[in-house]
A and B are shown apart, each in its own frame.
Chain A
Amino acid sequence: MTELTRVNTDREIATMEKTLVIRNLHVNVEDKEILKGLDLELEKGKTHAIMGPNGSGKSTLSYALAGHPSYEVTAGEVLFEGQDILEMGPDERAQAGIFLAFQYPMSIPGVSMANFLRSAVNSVRRARGEGDMRVPEFRKKLTERMAALKMDRSFMGRYLNEGFSGGEKKRAEILQMAMLEPKLAIMDETDSGLDIDALRVVSDGVNTLKGDDMTVLVITHYQRLLNYIKPDYVHVLMDGRIVTSGGPELALELESRGYDWVRAEFAVPA
């Protein structure tokens, strides 16, 4: 619990409302421990970035939070808005308001974007005891959100991620996020494979959505994305733990100095 205490005192956020509280999270993948007692608190409405070198456990964290069945939680707890989510399936977590923008979204042949989005939106609404969204309302919202992401209308008839370019896939992820309006958006290496124009569009999309109601967790290897999605807090993940946290300046420091100094300073085994 030492890191947690330090985060609280350093950033003086102890009294702020938390969207997500992770305590001592241990996660195995194929019987190998990847997360080794990770602690993290996400402040409501803020943008947190997790940076770390390859193999530090960044993607494992995002999959474990979203509830992937192959990521086995062996210890710890994850509280989302005060509720333990570890026993919940991925669909229930999404219904509760957690969204993961995938690094490598799957393609689903034969399922059109429009049909998929409507199913997803209505699944979430039903779980919350709301009725299905009426078709005209859905169309209107979809058209607006697509325009904001500079997506052509023809996307609606295309099959989900099938034959999409890297940039199209990322845009489609943000569109899903925009339609589902989650309380917590986890972005797993969203910048990978994006050229500068696509990066700007995707970032604008996220920036429009984030705010009082949406907390963002950006997981990235490089600082580049953080020029566009400005974090309030930066956390460094190494060897399965958050080893230090700070403000946006920490990201710049990592960019200029690399990760080795962190390793040395916080005695992380290489």
Chain B
Amino acid sequence: MALTEQQLTTSEDQYEYGFHDEEAPLFKSKRGLSAEVVTEISKMKNEPQWMLDFRLKALKYFEKRPMPQWGGGGMLNEIDFENIFYYIRPSDRPEQDWDDVPDYIKVTFDKLGIPEAEKKFLAGVGAQYESEVIYHNLQKDLEDKGVIFLDTDSALQQYPDLFREHFATIIPPNDNKFAALNSAVWSGGSFIYVPEGVHIDLPLQAYFRINAENAGQFERTLIIVDKGAYVHYVEGCTAPTYTTNSLHSAVVEIIVKEGGRCRYTTIQNWSKNVYNLVTKRAAAYKDATMEWVDGNLGSKLTMKYPAIYLMEPGAKGEILSVAFAGHGQHQDAGGKIVHVAPHTTSTITSKSISKEDGRSSYRGLLKVHPEAEYSKSNVRCDALLLHENSRTDTYPYIEIENDRVDIGHEATVSKVGEEQLFYLMSRGVSEADAYSMIVTGFIEPIAKELPMEYAVELNRLIQLEMEGSVG
């Protein structure tokens, strides 16, 4: 079977969203990180003194903490922190009205299909372009119900008390080196408050995108789901391809109060030069449910382990994680569940795919405190290897500190078999399509949990990845 010209094209050349605009930002901070740059960011945003103090303290933590040597290992040492812009603002304030959004940004969003998506599916859109949310639209009925859906900077200005009460309570600035970095230079992200008893039926959705070369993106998201309330938040990421490495280091904090439920869905498709180092953590209180659905397709290195702390009886946590590591990629992903209270339940389901020399790791923590009796947990991680040189590793850390628990753990590694490929091809399906069919089937248990358009996008992205990998 001869290779077509398309198949010979490398996947990097094919990166679908690898276009970029000429930059015309109003403000761009100097390269590199210092107390001066942090102060400048805070001043630009007219922040209260406590936030500036918080940022400066976090900067000290960042400088003090050593670079982690696990996970991505030596790859982290390649990040040149002095060569990164920590703040860029393309337009001077967040826009509510689509007509006011600058044209060159609209063009980029058109390529991503955001306006169409909004019409069909969205209850509200917050799309982060570079470091600032520039387009924000929330349907009127949500506003009437008291739902707050703002970019995080505006939320600090408009709801200072609610903001301060919850900000950094789940992920303190000294949690880890990259959480400290985010705490020092954070900008943008989403702030959501869902009042008691309010159910938001349609997913809230936001796209994030790095667009300036060497622009680190440090969004900070805070979601508060009040008693008995429900929200599904969907975050999608695509970024253009650049030759030098970019850094994305976000912090996402979620609080789910008694009887509430929150689902947070991400499919990240950062271009393959991005370091994606994200801290995500949620606290679920009495009878509350927290669900992370986390898909990692892009980036050079991703280190991301969404966490759930089950704080009070009846709390439930679920983590669904999909990782796809193609040529040159390392996906170090998984999840953490901490059972703090008795009668709490959790599941972690992880599916990873490694293609060519791609490397995927499942890294998970299941911790059950001595008080958390009668807790149940089930952890399942499956890995699929597409080629001989593909690699997968499993690091399941389990710390059980009492006997009255029900814990299940299962891990499988499988290879795409010649017999499966032959079977599909004997029905007229091409080798590339047969591969993508097997991969799509492998992640189906997670894809079916996604909103329809995301499942379609995920499958399409995988098909793109599979083209050019066959030969």
Indicate whether A180 sits within 8 Å of B428 (C-beta atoms), given known contacts A70-B418, A102-B423: yes
Closest to A120 in B: B427
CA distance A160 to B1 in the complex (A): 26
Report how many residues on chain A are interfacial, defined by Cβ distance under 8 Å: 31
Is A89 in contact with B425, judged by CB distance below 8 angstroms? yes
Q: Chain B residues near A109 (CB, 8 Å)? A: 441-442, 444
B438 proximal to A (CB < 8 A): yes
Within 8 A of B (CB), among A85-112: 89-95, 99-100, 102, 105-106, 108-111
Partner-binding segment picked from B5-13, B145-153, B387-395, B429-437: B429-437
B443 proximal to A (CB < 8 A): yes
A24 proximal to B (CB < 8 A): no
Minimum C-beta distance from B46 to chain A (A) = 51
Point out the residue from B429, B438, B440, B445 that lies within 8 Å of A120, measured CB to CB: B429
Minimum C-beta distance from A124 to chain B (A) = 4
Name, among A67, A70, A106, A110, the residue most crowded by chain B CB atoms within 10 Å (CB to CB): A110
B420 proximal to A (CB < 8 A): yes
Is A176 in contact with B442, judged by CB distance below 8 angstroms? no
B51 proximal to A (CB < 8 A): no
Q: Chain A residues near B422 (CB, 8 Å)? A: 66-69, 90
B426 proximal to A (CB < 8 A): yes
CA distance A91 to B429 in the complex (A): 6
Is B428 in contact with A108, judged by CB distance below 8 angstroms? no
CA distance A99 to B419 in the complex (A): 16
Minimum C-beta distance from A70 to chain B (A) = 7
Minimum C-beta distance from B295 to chain A (A) = 15
Point out the residue from B419, B437, B445 that lies within 8 Å of A119, measured CB to CB: B437
Closest to B429 in A: A123
CA distance A116 to B424 in the complex (A): 9
Minimum C-beta distance from B58 to chain A (A) = 43
Minimum C-beta distance from B392 to chain A (A) = 18
CA distance A70 to B417 in the complex (A): 12
Indicate whether A90 sits within 8 Å of B425 (C-beta atoms), given known contacts A123-B430, A123-B433: yes
CA distance A219 to B429 in the complex (A): 24
Point out the residue from B419, B437, B445 that lies within 8 Å of A116, measured CB to CB: B437
Report how many residues on chain B are interfacial, defined by Cβ distance under 8 Å: 25
Minimum C-beta distance from A5 to chain B (A) = 32
CA distance A175 to B415 in the complex (A): 28
Closest to A126 in B: B428
Closest to B351 in A: A110
Minimum C-beta distance from A163 to chain B (A) = 14
A228 proximal to B (CB < 8 A): no
A259 proximal to B (CB < 8 A): no
Is A110 in contact with B440, judged by CB distance below 8 angstroms? yes
Is B437 in contact with A108, judged by CB distance below 8 angstroms? yes
Minimum C-beta distance from B7 to chain A (A) = 14
Minimum C-beta distance from B349 to chain A (A) = 13
Is A106 in contact with B420, judged by CB distance below 8 angstroms? yes
A127 proximal to B (CB < 8 A): yes
Q: Chain B residues near A116 (CB, 8 Å)? A: 424, 427, 437
A222 proximal to B (CB < 8 A): no
CA distance A89 to B433 in the complex (A): 14
A138 proximal to B (CB < 8 A): no
Q: Chain B residues near A160 (CB, 8 Å)? A: 441
Q: Chain B residues near A70 (CB, 8 Å)? A: 418
A 113-142 to B, binary, CB cutoff 8 A, 1 in contact else 0: 000100110011001000000000000000
Q: Chain A residues near B445 (CB, 8 Å)? A: 110
Within 8 A of A (CB), among B287-314: none
Is B426 in contact with A66, judged by CB distance below 8 angstroms? yes
Within 8 A of B (CB), among A149-205: 159-160, 176, 180
Q: Chain A residues near B426 (CB, 8 Å)? A: 66-67, 90-91, 93-94, 99-100, 102
Minimum C-beta distance from A74 to chain B (A) = 20
Q: Chain B residues near A105 (CB, 8 Å)? A: 423
Q: Chain B residues near A68 (CB, 8 Å)? A: 422
CA distance A180 to B428 in the complex (A): 9
Closest to A161 in B: B423
Is B437 in contact with A111, judged by CB distance below 8 angstroms? yes
Q: A92-B1, A102-B423 are in contact. List 5 more A-B contacts (CB 8 A).
A: A67-B425, A89-B1, A90-B422, A91-B431, A119-B433
Q: Can you offer 25 A-B residue contacts whose CB atoms are under 8 A?
A: A67-B422, A89-B431, A91-B425, A91-B431, A94-B426, A102-B423, A102-B426, A106-B417, A106-B419, A106-B420, A108-B423, A108-B438, A109-B444, A110-B443, A110-B444, A110-B445, A111-B438, A111-B441, A116-B437, A123-B427, A123-B429, A124-B428, A127-B428, A160-B441, A180-B427
A residues adjacent to B (C-beta < 8 A): 66-70, 89-95, 99-100, 102, 105-106, 108-111, 116, 119-120, 123-124, 127, 159-160, 176, 180
Which are the 3 A-B pairs with shortest beta-carbon distances?
Answer: A110-B441, A110-B444, A94-B428
